Amino acid sequence: MALHIVNQSPYRSSALNDCLAAMAGGDALLLIEDAVYAAGMTPAALPMEKPIPAETYCLKADAKARGVSVSEKIPQIDDDHWVTLCVQHTPIVSWF
């Protein structure tokens, strides 16, 4: 299973939308940097065509730094957990 990492706000860039279109079932998604804004929005406020998948994570420090209140469904992880995800998944795909 792949790990997809997105770092752009969904309102500024097509990165998250493109990523969702290229995800296979069971892939994981990690939202970092400005992509954490997608983790704090109600589904109706999000511009993507597809919903974010069940296995979606958000980098806690980036969300806290930006004052984003992350949805309870999205686990907030630290850098150590990020490394663990990288070890558990192949390939790792960056979207920016």
Partner 1 sequence: MSLQTLILCRRAPYGSALAREGLEAALASAAMDQIPDLLFSGDGIFQLLDNQAPEEIQQKSLLRNLQALPLFGVERIHICQQSLNRRGIGVDAIALPGLELTLVEDTGALIARYQHVLSF
**How far is the C-alpha of 44 from the C-alpha of 8, rounded, in Å?**
19
93 lies in the site for partner 1, by CB under 8 A? yes
Q: Alpha helix locations (H) across 5-95?
A: 15-21, 60-66, 79-88
Strand-pairing partners, residue 5, are 30, 94
- Please pick, from the candidates 2, 41, 48, 85, the single residue that binds partner 1 as defined by CB under 8 A: 2
Write out the two tokens for 13: 């860039």
Q: Is 96 in the site for partner 1 (CB under 8 A)?
A: yes
| Binding to partner 1, residues 10-39 (CB under 8 A) | 14, 18, 21-25, 27
Residues forming the site for partner 1 (CB under 8 A): 1-2, 14, 18, 21-25, 27, 90-96
